[in-house]
Chain A
Protein backbone atom coordinates (compact mmCIF):
# COMPACT_ATOMS: atom_id res chain seq x y z
CA UNK A 1 0.00 0.00 0.00
CA UNK A 2 1.25 3.46 -0.83
CA UNK A 3 1.51 5.52 2.35
CA UNK A 4 2.85 8.68 0.83
CA UNK A 5 2.46 10.01 -2.70
CA UNK A 6 4.23 13.17 -3.84
CA UNK A 7 3.10 14.60 -7.15
CA UNK A 8 4.97 17.18 -9.20
CA UNK A 9 6.41 18.90 -6.16
CA UNK A 10 8.20 22.20 -6.57
CA UNK A 11 10.30 23.01 -3.53
CA UNK A 12 12.13 26.07 -2.35
CA UNK A 13 11.65 29.49 -0.83
CA UNK A 14 9.98 32.63 -2.12
CA UNK A 15 12.30 33.33 -5.04
CA UNK A 16 14.64 30.35 -5.00
CA UNK A 17 13.52 27.09 -6.53
CA UNK A 18 15.56 24.16 -5.27
CA UNK A 19 13.93 21.37 -7.19
CA UNK A 20 11.02 20.97 -9.56
CA UNK A 21 8.64 18.36 -10.91
CA UNK A 22 9.43 15.88 -8.18
CA UNK A 23 7.17 12.83 -8.15
CA UNK A 24 7.62 9.70 -6.09
CA UNK A 25 5.72 7.44 -3.73
CA UNK A 26 6.57 5.46 -0.64
CA UNK A 27 5.10 2.03 0.11
CA UNK A 28 4.27 0.71 3.55
CA UNK A 29 7.38 -0.91 5.01
CA UNK A 30 9.63 0.77 2.48
CA UNK A 31 13.13 2.02 3.23
CA UNK A 32 13.76 5.10 1.10
CA UNK A 33 17.06 6.87 1.06
CA UNK A 34 17.14 10.47 -0.17
CA UNK A 35 20.52 11.50 -1.54
CA UNK A 36 21.86 14.47 -3.45
CA UNK A 37 24.32 17.34 -3.25
CA UNK A 38 24.26 19.94 -0.52
CA UNK A 39 21.56 22.49 -1.26
CA UNK A 40 19.67 20.14 -3.57
CA UNK A 41 16.63 20.43 -1.29
CA UNK A 42 16.79 17.19 0.71
CA UNK A 43 15.97 18.82 4.05
CA UNK A 44 13.42 21.08 2.38
CA UNK A 45 11.71 18.01 0.94
CA UNK A 46 11.58 16.46 4.39
CA UNK A 47 10.22 19.64 5.95
CA UNK A 48 7.60 19.78 3.22
CA UNK A 49 6.50 16.20 3.85
CA UNK A 50 6.13 17.12 7.53
CA UNK A 51 4.10 20.21 6.60
CA UNK A 52 6.65 22.49 8.24
CA UNK A 53 6.67 24.43 5.02
CA UNK A 54 4.45 24.58 1.97
CA UNK A 55 5.47 23.28 -1.44
CA UNK A 56 5.61 26.00 -4.12
CA UNK A 57 3.55 23.70 -6.30
CA UNK A 58 2.37 20.10 -6.41
CA UNK A 59 0.70 17.94 -3.82
CA UNK A 60 1.40 15.38 -1.11
CA UNK A 61 -1.08 12.65 -0.31
CA UNK A 62 -1.08 10.68 2.93
CA UNK A 63 -2.76 7.26 2.98
CA UNK A 64 -3.19 4.36 5.39
CA UNK A 65 -4.33 6.57 8.31
CA UNK A 66 -1.12 8.54 8.09
CA UNK A 67 -1.11 12.30 8.64
CA UNK A 68 1.85 14.66 8.71
CA UNK A 69 1.63 14.86 12.51
CA UNK A 70 1.75 11.08 12.88
CA UNK A 71 5.16 10.81 11.24
CA UNK A 72 8.08 10.32 13.62
CA UNK A 73 10.74 12.92 12.86
CA UNK A 74 14.39 12.84 13.76
CA UNK A 75 15.67 16.35 13.02
CA UNK A 76 19.30 17.38 12.99
CA UNK A 77 20.46 18.48 16.41
CA UNK A 78 20.27 22.16 17.25
CA UNK A 79 22.69 24.21 19.33
CA UNK A 80 19.95 24.76 21.92
CA UNK A 81 19.88 21.05 22.70
CA UNK A 82 23.61 20.68 23.30
CA UNK A 83 23.43 21.93 26.91
CA UNK A 84 19.76 21.38 27.62
CA UNK A 85 18.95 20.24 31.14
CA UNK A 86 16.37 17.54 30.45
CA UNK A 87 16.31 13.90 31.43
CA UNK A 88 16.22 11.19 28.77
CA UNK A 89 12.72 10.23 29.90
CA UNK A 90 11.45 13.80 29.58
CA UNK A 91 12.77 14.04 26.02
CA UNK A 92 11.35 10.67 24.97
CA UNK A 93 7.98 11.43 26.56
CA UNK A 94 7.74 14.68 24.59
CA UNK A 95 7.38 12.48 21.50
CA UNK A 96 3.82 11.75 22.66
CA UNK A 97 2.76 15.37 22.02
CA UNK A 98 0.53 14.42 19.11
CA UNK A 99 -1.64 12.26 21.36
CA UNK A 100 -2.12 15.08 23.88
CA UNK A 101 -4.96 16.60 21.87
CA UNK A 102 -6.67 19.06 24.19
CA UNK A 103 -5.40 17.32 27.32
CA UNK A 104 -2.86 19.12 29.45
CA UNK A 105 -0.86 16.17 30.70
CA UNK A 106 0.41 12.89 29.29
CA UNK A 107 -1.78 9.84 29.92
CA UNK A 108 -0.73 6.52 31.42
CA UNK A 109 -0.58 5.01 27.92
CA UNK A 110 1.74 7.81 26.82
CA UNK A 111 4.11 7.11 29.72
CA UNK A 112 3.99 3.41 28.96
CA UNK A 113 4.78 4.10 25.31
CA UNK A 114 7.77 6.21 26.30
CA UNK A 115 9.04 3.41 28.60
CA UNK A 116 8.52 0.78 25.89
CA UNK A 117 10.37 2.77 23.28
CA UNK A 118 13.28 3.42 25.63
CA UNK A 119 13.49 -0.33 26.16
CA UNK A 120 13.23 -0.96 22.43
CA UNK A 121 16.29 1.23 21.83
CA UNK A 122 18.19 0.04 24.89
CA UNK A 123 18.23 3.31 26.78
CA UNK A 124 15.99 2.51 29.78
CA UNK A 125 19.02 2.24 32.04
CA UNK A 126 19.93 5.87 31.34
CA UNK A 127 16.35 7.17 31.61
CA UNK A 128 17.25 9.62 34.38
CA UNK A 129 20.52 10.82 32.91
CA UNK A 130 20.77 14.34 31.65
CA UNK A 131 20.50 14.67 27.88
CA UNK A 132 23.52 17.02 27.68
CA UNK A 133 25.77 14.49 29.45
CA UNK A 134 25.20 11.78 26.81
CA UNK A 135 27.48 10.78 23.95
CA UNK A 136 26.44 11.66 20.39
CA UNK A 137 25.25 8.12 19.72
CA UNK A 138 23.18 7.98 22.90
CA UNK A 139 21.61 11.36 22.08
CA UNK A 140 20.56 10.06 18.66
CA UNK A 141 19.00 6.99 20.29
CA UNK A 142 17.05 9.24 22.62
CA UNK A 143 15.77 11.36 19.72
CA UNK A 144 14.93 8.19 17.79
CA UNK A 145 12.95 6.87 20.78
CA UNK A 146 11.13 10.20 20.89
CA UNK A 147 10.33 9.92 17.16
CA UNK A 148 9.01 6.38 17.73
CA UNK A 149 6.61 7.71 20.38
CA UNK A 150 5.08 9.92 17.72
CA UNK A 151 4.48 7.17 15.17
CA UNK A 152 3.67 3.56 14.54
CA UNK A 153 4.06 3.78 10.81
CA UNK A 154 6.72 6.06 9.44
CA UNK A 155 10.03 7.62 10.47
CA UNK A 156 11.71 10.56 8.77
CA UNK A 157 15.39 10.71 9.60
CA UNK A 158 17.48 13.74 8.72
CA UNK A 159 21.09 12.58 8.62
CA UNK A 160 20.81 10.30 11.62
CA UNK A 161 24.52 9.46 11.65
CA UNK A 162 25.97 12.96 11.19
CA UNK A 163 28.90 13.46 13.53
CA UNK A 164 28.95 9.90 14.87
CA UNK A 165 32.08 7.75 14.88
CA UNK A 166 32.21 4.66 12.57
CA UNK A 167 31.36 2.10 15.28
CA UNK A 168 28.32 4.04 16.50
CA UNK A 169 27.33 4.78 12.91
CA UNK A 170 27.03 1.12 12.01
CA UNK A 171 25.13 0.46 15.25
CA UNK A 172 22.73 3.23 14.30
CA UNK A 173 22.21 1.80 10.80
CA UNK A 174 21.58 -1.65 12.28
CA UNK A 175 19.05 -0.16 14.69
CA UNK A 176 17.20 1.64 11.90
CA UNK A 177 17.25 -1.56 9.84
CA UNK A 178 15.74 -3.46 12.78
CA UNK A 179 12.93 -0.90 13.09
CA UNK A 180 12.27 -1.26 9.35
CA UNK A 181 12.05 -5.06 9.77
CA UNK A 182 9.45 -4.46 12.48
CA UNK A 183 7.28 -2.81 9.81
CA UNK A 184 8.06 0.88 10.16
CA UNK A 185 8.51 2.79 6.91
CA UNK A 186 11.83 4.63 6.85
CA UNK A 187 12.64 7.75 4.87
CA UNK A 188 16.20 8.85 5.46
CA UNK A 189 18.38 11.68 4.23
CA UNK A 190 21.99 10.69 4.01
CA UNK A 191 25.31 12.11 2.93
CA UNK A 192 26.90 8.72 3.16
CA UNK A 193 25.54 7.29 -0.10
CA UNK A 194 27.59 4.10 -0.20
CA UNK A 195 26.60 3.00 3.29
CA UNK A 196 22.96 3.99 3.20
CA UNK A 197 22.37 2.23 -0.08
CA UNK A 198 23.43 -0.99 1.62
CA UNK A 199 20.30 -0.96 3.79
CA UNK A 200 17.78 0.95 1.66
CA UNK A 201 15.19 -0.56 -0.67
CA UNK A 202 14.60 2.53 -2.77
CA UNK A 203 16.69 5.57 -3.60
CA UNK A 204 15.56 9.09 -4.42
CA UNK A 205 18.38 11.15 -5.88
CA UNK A 206 17.62 14.83 -6.28
CA UNK A 207 19.71 17.72 -7.57
CA UNK A 208 21.57 17.85 -10.88
CA UNK A 209 20.89 14.19 -11.52
CA UNK A 210 17.48 12.75 -10.82
CA UNK A 211 16.73 9.17 -9.95
CA UNK A 212 13.89 7.36 -8.26
CA UNK A 213 13.73 3.59 -8.10
CA UNK A 214 15.09 0.49 -6.44
CA UNK A 215 18.62 0.24 -5.14
CA UNK A 216 19.55 -2.34 -7.81
CA UNK A 217 18.45 0.01 -10.58
CA UNK A 218 20.24 2.90 -8.88
CA UNK A 219 23.54 1.02 -8.98
CA UNK A 220 23.15 0.59 -12.75
CA UNK A 221 21.93 4.14 -13.41
CA UNK A 222 24.29 6.91 -14.55
CA UNK A 223 23.64 8.94 -11.35
CA UNK A 224 24.16 5.92 -9.15
CA UNK A 225 27.33 4.63 -10.73
CA UNK A 226 28.74 8.16 -10.68
CA UNK A 227 28.10 8.66 -6.97
CA UNK A 228 28.65 5.13 -5.77
CA UNK A 229 31.85 4.86 -7.79
CA UNK A 230 33.39 7.79 -5.95
CA UNK A 231 31.03 7.67 -3.00
CA UNK A 232 33.71 6.69 -0.47
CA UNK A 233 35.58 9.94 -0.66
CA UNK A 234 32.63 12.07 -1.60
CA UNK A 235 30.14 13.55 0.80
Chain B
Protein backbone atom coordinates (compact mmCIF):
# COMPACT_ATOMS: atom_id res chain seq x y z
CA UNK B 1 0.00 0.00 0.00
CA UNK B 2 2.84 2.38 0.89
CA UNK B 3 4.52 1.50 -2.40
CA UNK B 4 1.33 2.21 -4.27
CA UNK B 5 1.05 5.56 -2.51
CA UNK B 6 4.66 6.39 -3.36
CA UNK B 7 4.09 5.48 -6.98
CA UNK B 8 1.11 7.82 -7.06
CA UNK B 9 3.23 10.55 -5.51
CA UNK B 10 5.55 10.43 -8.50
CA UNK B 11 2.79 11.99 -10.57
CA UNK B 12 2.93 15.79 -10.37
CA UNK B 13 -0.88 16.14 -10.36
CA UNK B 14 -1.12 14.05 -7.19
CA UNK B 15 1.55 16.14 -5.51
CA UNK B 16 -0.22 19.32 -6.61
CA UNK B 17 -3.50 18.01 -5.26
CA UNK B 18 -1.94 17.19 -1.90
CA UNK B 19 -0.19 20.56 -1.56
CA UNK B 20 -3.26 22.53 -2.56
CA UNK B 21 -5.54 20.32 -0.45
CA UNK B 22 -3.49 20.76 2.71
CA UNK B 23 -3.20 24.53 2.31
CA UNK B 24 -6.87 25.01 1.53
CA UNK B 25 -7.89 22.83 4.47
CA UNK B 26 -5.57 24.80 6.76
CA UNK B 27 -6.93 28.21 5.72
CA UNK B 28 -10.56 27.20 5.77
CA UNK B 29 -10.32 25.71 9.24
CA UNK B 30 -8.61 28.79 10.68
CA UNK B 31 -11.29 31.12 9.43
CA UNK B 32 -13.94 28.51 10.14
CA UNK B 33 -13.54 29.01 13.88
CA UNK B 34 -14.25 32.72 13.54
CA UNK B 35 -17.08 32.12 11.10
CA UNK B 36 -18.88 29.66 13.33
CA UNK B 37 -18.44 31.74 16.48
CA UNK B 38 -19.48 34.96 14.80
CA UNK B 39 -22.61 33.20 13.51
CA UNK B 40 -21.42 33.85 9.97
CA UNK B 41 -21.58 30.23 8.75
CA UNK B 42 -24.50 31.03 6.48
CA UNK B 43 -22.46 33.75 4.77
CA UNK B 44 -19.92 31.10 3.81
CA UNK B 45 -22.67 28.96 2.38
CA UNK B 46 -24.19 31.84 0.43
CA UNK B 47 -20.83 32.89 -0.95
CA UNK B 48 -20.06 29.43 -2.27
CA UNK B 49 -23.16 29.66 -4.47
CA UNK B 50 -22.10 33.09 -5.63
CA UNK B 51 -18.73 31.62 -6.57
CA UNK B 52 -20.55 28.94 -8.60
CA UNK B 53 -22.45 31.60 -10.53
CA UNK B 54 -19.27 33.57 -11.09
CA UNK B 55 -17.46 30.50 -12.31
CA UNK B 56 -20.24 29.81 -14.81
CA UNK B 57 -19.91 33.35 -16.13
CA UNK B 58 -16.14 32.92 -16.42
CA UNK B 59 -16.61 29.67 -18.34
CA UNK B 60 -19.13 31.26 -20.72
CA UNK B 61 -16.92 34.26 -21.36
CA UNK B 62 -14.19 31.77 -22.11
CA UNK B 63 -11.62 32.86 -19.53
CA UNK B 64 -8.75 30.43 -19.18
CA UNK B 65 -7.99 31.72 -15.70
CA UNK B 66 -11.44 31.52 -14.13
CA UNK B 67 -10.22 32.67 -10.73
CA UNK B 68 -9.51 36.13 -12.19
CA UNK B 69 -13.27 36.63 -12.36
CA UNK B 70 -14.61 34.44 -9.54
CA UNK B 71 -12.30 35.92 -6.91
CA UNK B 72 -13.28 39.60 -7.30
CA UNK B 73 -17.00 38.81 -7.72
CA UNK B 74 -17.04 36.67 -4.59
CA UNK B 75 -15.11 39.26 -2.59
CA UNK B 76 -17.51 42.01 -3.64
CA UNK B 77 -20.49 39.85 -2.67
CA UNK B 78 -18.92 39.02 0.69
CA UNK B 79 -18.51 42.71 1.46
CA UNK B 80 -22.03 43.48 0.24
CA UNK B 81 -23.53 40.71 2.38
CA UNK B 82 -21.74 41.88 5.48
CA UNK B 83 -22.68 45.46 4.81
CA UNK B 84 -26.38 44.72 4.24
CA UNK B 85 -26.30 42.53 7.34
CA UNK B 86 -25.28 45.58 9.37
CA UNK B 87 -27.70 48.06 7.83
CA UNK B 88 -30.57 45.65 7.80
CA UNK B 89 -33.21 46.87 5.38
CA UNK B 90 -33.49 43.36 4.03
CA UNK B 91 -32.55 41.07 6.90
CA UNK B 92 -29.12 39.48 6.62
CA UNK B 93 -30.23 35.88 6.25
CA UNK B 94 -32.93 36.72 3.71
CA UNK B 95 -30.57 38.74 1.53
CA UNK B 96 -28.08 35.89 1.61
CA UNK B 97 -30.73 33.39 0.58
CA UNK B 98 -31.69 35.72 -2.26
CA UNK B 99 -28.18 36.21 -3.54
CA UNK B 100 -27.14 32.59 -3.23
CA UNK B 101 -30.19 31.06 -4.89
CA UNK B 102 -30.10 33.77 -7.55
CA UNK B 103 -26.45 33.01 -8.31
CA UNK B 104 -27.20 29.28 -8.59
CA UNK B 105 -30.03 29.89 -11.05
CA UNK B 106 -28.06 32.36 -13.16
CA UNK B 107 -25.05 30.07 -13.18
CA UNK B 108 -26.98 27.01 -14.28
CA UNK B 109 -28.91 28.94 -16.90
CA UNK B 110 -25.72 30.38 -18.39
CA UNK B 111 -24.07 26.99 -18.50
CA UNK B 112 -27.04 25.63 -20.43
CA UNK B 113 -27.41 28.59 -22.80
CA UNK B 114 -23.73 28.70 -23.68
CA UNK B 115 -22.44 25.19 -23.24
CA UNK B 116 -18.64 25.01 -23.28
CA UNK B 117 -18.63 21.24 -23.74
CA UNK B 118 -21.10 18.57 -24.81
CA UNK B 119 -21.43 17.26 -21.27
CA UNK B 120 -23.26 20.05 -19.43
CA UNK B 121 -24.49 18.01 -16.51
CA UNK B 122 -20.97 16.69 -16.05
CA UNK B 123 -19.64 20.25 -15.96
CA UNK B 124 -22.29 21.38 -13.49
CA UNK B 125 -21.74 18.36 -11.32
CA UNK B 126 -18.00 18.91 -11.26
CA UNK B 127 -18.41 22.59 -10.29
CA UNK B 128 -20.89 21.74 -7.55
CA UNK B 129 -19.19 18.69 -6.10
CA UNK B 130 -15.63 19.24 -7.27
CA UNK B 131 -15.36 15.67 -8.58
CA UNK B 132 -11.88 15.50 -10.09
CA UNK B 133 -11.08 19.19 -10.25
CA UNK B 134 -8.34 19.07 -7.65
CA UNK B 135 -6.49 16.48 -9.73
CA UNK B 136 -6.47 18.71 -12.81
CA UNK B 137 -4.84 21.76 -11.22
CA UNK B 138 -2.11 23.33 -13.30
CA UNK B 139 1.23 24.44 -11.93
CA UNK B 140 0.25 28.13 -12.01
CA UNK B 141 -3.01 27.42 -10.18
CA UNK B 142 -1.10 25.60 -7.46
CA UNK B 143 1.33 28.51 -7.14
CA UNK B 144 -1.56 30.97 -6.84
CA UNK B 145 -3.10 28.70 -4.24
CA UNK B 146 0.16 28.61 -2.25
CA UNK B 147 0.59 32.38 -2.38
CA UNK B 148 -2.99 33.12 -1.32
CA UNK B 149 -2.80 30.55 1.48
CA UNK B 150 0.39 32.05 2.84
CA UNK B 151 -1.21 35.49 2.81
CA UNK B 152 -4.26 34.16 4.66
CA UNK B 153 -2.21 32.33 7.29
CA UNK B 154 0.05 35.34 7.90
CA UNK B 155 -2.95 37.66 8.18
CA UNK B 156 -4.59 35.27 10.62
CA UNK B 157 -1.54 34.96 12.87
CA UNK B 158 -0.77 38.68 12.75
CA UNK B 159 -4.32 39.70 13.62
CA UNK B 160 -5.10 36.74 15.87
CA UNK B 161 -5.62 38.82 19.02
CA UNK B 162 -7.81 41.32 17.22
CA UNK B 163 -9.82 38.61 15.50
CA UNK B 164 -10.45 37.01 18.87
CA UNK B 165 -11.52 40.32 20.39
CA UNK B 166 -13.90 41.18 17.59
CA UNK B 167 -15.39 37.69 17.60
CA UNK B 168 -15.91 37.43 21.34
CA UNK B 169 -17.34 40.88 21.91
CA UNK B 170 -17.64 43.39 19.11
CA UNK B 171 -19.11 46.22 21.20
CA UNK B 172 -16.33 46.00 23.76
CA UNK B 173 -13.68 45.83 21.06
CA UNK B 174 -15.13 48.89 19.35
CA UNK B 175 -15.46 50.76 22.63
CA UNK B 176 -11.77 50.36 23.44
CA UNK B 177 -10.81 51.62 20.00
CA UNK B 178 -10.28 48.47 17.93
CA UNK B 179 -11.15 49.00 14.27
CA UNK B 180 -13.98 46.48 14.15
CA UNK B 181 -15.46 47.56 10.81
CA UNK B 182 -12.13 47.11 9.08
CA UNK B 183 -11.63 43.71 10.75
CA UNK B 184 -15.09 42.53 9.74
CA UNK B 185 -14.52 43.47 6.13
CA UNK B 186 -11.12 41.83 6.23
CA UNK B 187 -12.71 38.65 7.57
CA UNK B 188 -15.32 38.76 4.79
CA UNK B 189 -12.61 39.22 2.16
CA UNK B 190 -10.51 36.36 3.48
CA UNK B 191 -13.59 34.12 3.57
CA UNK B 192 -14.29 34.92 -0.08
CA UNK B 193 -10.69 34.05 -1.02
CA UNK B 194 -10.86 30.78 0.88
CA UNK B 195 -14.17 29.80 -0.68
CA UNK B 196 -12.90 30.38 -4.20
CA UNK B 197 -9.78 28.35 -3.40
CA UNK B 198 -11.71 25.60 -1.67
CA UNK B 199 -14.11 25.23 -4.59
CA UNK B 200 -11.22 23.61 -6.46
CA UNK B 201 -10.93 21.04 -3.74
CA UNK B 202 -14.46 20.07 -2.83
CA UNK B 203 -16.76 21.95 -5.22
CA UNK B 204 -19.04 24.84 -4.35
CA UNK B 205 -21.78 22.88 -2.58
CA UNK B 206 -19.37 21.24 -0.18
CA UNK B 207 -17.23 24.26 0.66
CA UNK B 208 -19.14 25.08 3.83
CA UNK B 209 -18.44 21.63 5.19
CA UNK B 210 -14.72 22.25 4.92
CA UNK B 211 -15.10 25.54 6.76
CA UNK B 212 -17.53 24.49 9.47
CA UNK B 213 -16.83 20.89 10.44
CA UNK B 214 -13.28 21.17 11.81
CA UNK B 215 -14.23 24.19 13.94
CA UNK B 216 -17.33 22.49 15.34
CA UNK B 217 -15.37 19.30 16.05
CA UNK B 218 -12.67 21.20 17.93
CA UNK B 219 -15.27 23.06 19.98
CA UNK B 220 -16.65 19.76 21.28
CA UNK B 221 -13.39 19.03 23.05
CA UNK B 222 -11.31 22.12 23.68
CA UNK B 223 -11.89 24.95 26.10
CA UNK B 224 -9.78 27.85 24.95
CA UNK B 225 -9.86 29.80 21.73
CA UNK B 226 -6.23 29.02 20.96
CA UNK B 227 -6.54 25.27 21.45
CA UNK B 228 -9.75 25.21 19.39
CA UNK B 229 -8.03 27.05 16.55
CA UNK B 230 -4.90 24.89 16.60
CA UNK B 231 -6.79 21.63 16.85
CA UNK B 232 -9.25 22.51 14.13
CA UNK B 233 -6.33 23.32 11.81
CA UNK B 234 -4.62 19.99 12.56
CA UNK B 235 -7.88 18.08 12.19
CA UNK B 236 -8.80 19.79 8.93
CA UNK B 237 -5.39 19.12 7.36
CA UNK B 238 -5.45 15.46 8.45
CA UNK B 239 -8.95 14.94 7.09
CA UNK B 240 -8.01 16.56 3.78
CA UNK B 241 -4.90 14.36 3.43
CA UNK B 242 -6.81 11.24 4.39
CA UNK B 243 -9.68 12.14 2.06
CA UNK B 244 -7.42 12.76 -0.94
CA UNK B 245 -5.44 9.55 -0.41
CA UNK B 246 -8.56 7.44 0.15
CA UNK B 247 -10.25 8.92 -2.90
CA UNK B 248 -7.25 7.88 -5.02
CA UNK B 249 -7.35 4.33 -3.68
CA UNK B 250 -11.10 3.89 -3.77
CA UNK B 251 -11.62 5.99 -6.93
CA UNK B 252 -14.26 8.06 -5.12
CA UNK B 253 -14.89 11.79 -5.68
CA UNK B 254 -12.26 13.79 -3.75
CA UNK B 255 -14.62 16.42 -2.32
CA UNK B 256 -17.15 14.10 -0.80
CA UNK B 257 -14.47 11.76 0.53
CA UNK B 258 -12.84 14.64 2.41
CA UNK B 259 -16.18 15.77 3.77
CA UNK B 260 -16.97 12.21 4.89
CA UNK B 261 -13.65 12.19 6.76
CA UNK B 262 -14.65 15.50 8.38
CA UNK B 263 -18.03 14.10 9.38
CA UNK B 264 -16.42 11.01 10.90
CA UNK B 265 -13.99 13.22 12.84
CA UNK B 266 -16.90 15.30 14.08
CA UNK B 267 -18.61 12.14 15.33
CA UNK B 268 -15.49 11.04 17.20
CA UNK B 269 -14.98 14.50 18.71
CA UNK B 270 -18.61 14.73 19.85
CA UNK B 271 -18.25 11.37 21.52
CA UNK B 272 -15.04 12.41 23.30
CA UNK B 273 -16.72 15.66 24.34
CA UNK B 274 -19.69 13.74 25.82
CA UNK B 275 -17.50 11.24 27.66
CA UNK B 276 -15.42 14.01 29.20
CA UNK B 277 -18.42 15.71 30.70
B174 within 8 A of A: yes
Q: Which residues of B contact A128 (CB under 8 A)?
A: 223-224
Whether a CB of chain B sits under 8 angstroms from the CB of A90 is yes
Residues of A within 8 A of B168 (CB): 80-81, 84, 86, 91, 94
Segment at the interface with B among A5-13, A96-104, A163-171: A96-104
Q: Does A40 contact B (CB under 8 A)?
A: no
Among B158, B173, B223, B226, the most chain A Cβ lie within 10 Å of the Cβ of B223
User: Which residues of B are found within 8 Å of A106, using beta-carbon distances?
Assistant: 161
- A71, B224: Cβ atoms closer than 8 Å: no
Q: B176 on the interface (CB 8 Å rule)?
A: yes
Say if the beta carbon of A218 comes within 8 Å of chain B. no
Chain B CB within 8 A of A50 CB: yes
Near A by CB (< 8 A), chain B positions 147-169 give 158-162, 164-165, 167-169
Which of A51, A95, A97 sits near B162, CB closer than 8 Å? A97
Q: Collect the chain A residues with CB atoms within 8 Å of residue B165's CB.
A: 94, 97
A229 within 8 Å of B by Cβ?
no
A97 touches B169 (CB 8 A): no
Q: Is the CB of A130 within 8 A of B159?
A: no
Residue A136 lies at the interface, judged by CB distance under 8 Å to chain B: no
Contact A97 B224 (CB under 8 A): no
Per DSSP, chain B at the interface is helix
Complex interface bits, B119-138 against A, C-beta within 8 A gives 1, otherwise 0: 00000000000000000000
Q: Is A68 an interface residue (CB 8 A)?
A: yes
Are A75 and B38 within 8 A (Cβ)? no
Contacting pair A78 B228 (CB below 8 A): no
CB pair B223 A50 closer than 8 Å: no
* Interface positions of B from 25 to 54, Cβ below 8 Å from A: 37-39
| Residue of B160, B174, B177, B219 with most partner-chain A CB within 10 A | B177
User: Which residues of chain A have C-beta atoms less than 8 A from B177's C-beta?
Assistant: 68-69, 97-98
Query: How far in angstroms is the closest Cβ of chain A from B163?
Result: 11
With an 8 Å Cβ cutoff, the count of chain B residues facing the other chain is 29
Q: A87 to B219, alpha carbons, bound, how many Å?
A: 12
How does the 8 Å CB contact mask read for A184-225 relative to B, with 1 for contact and 0 for none? 000000000000000000000000000000000000000000
* Bound form: Cα–Cα A73–B177 in Å: 12
Contacts of B38 in A (CB 8 A): 80
Write out the residue numbers on chain B whose beta carbons fall within 8 Å of the beta carbon of A228.
none
Complex contacts, B226 vs chain A, CB 8 Å: 90
Does B249 have its Cβ within 8 Å of any Cβ on chain A?
no
For the complex, give the distance between the alpha carbons of A95 and B161 in Å: 11
Instruction: Out of A68, A73, A100, A150, name the residue touching B171 (CB < 8 Å).
Output: A73
Chain B residues whose C-beta falls within 8 Å of the C-beta of A105 in the assembled complex: 161
Cβ of A166 to closest chain B Cβ, rounded Å = 27
A141 on the B face (CB < 8 A): no
- The answer on a CB contact under 8 Å between B175 and A71 is yes
Q: What's the least CB distance linking A221 to chain B, in Å?
A: 31
Contacts of B223 in A (CB 8 A): 85, 87, 128-130, 133
- A110 CB to closest chain B CB (Å) equals 10
Q: Does A52 contact B (CB under 8 A)?
A: yes
6 further contact pairs, Cβ within 8 A, besides A50-B174, A94-B165, A95-B176 = A52-B171, A80-B167, A85-B37, A85-B223, A98-B177, A100-B161
22 A-B Cβ contacts within 8 A?
Answer: A51-B175, A52-B174, A68-B177, A69-B176, A70-B176, A71-B176, A75-B172, A80-B39, A80-B167, A84-B168, A85-B219, A85-B222, A85-B223, A87-B223, A89-B224, A94-B169, A95-B176, A97-B161, A97-B178, A100-B161, A106-B161, A128-B223
- Seen from chain A, the residues whose Cβ lies within 8 Å of a Cβ on chain B are 47, 50-52, 68-71, 73, 75, 78, 80-81, 84-87, 89-91, 94-95, 97-98, 100, 104-106, 128-130, 133, 146-147, 150
In the complex, the 8 A-B pairs of residues with the closest C-beta atoms, listed nearest first: A69-B177, A130-B223, A87-B224, A98-B176, A50-B175, A73-B175, A86-B225, A94-B165
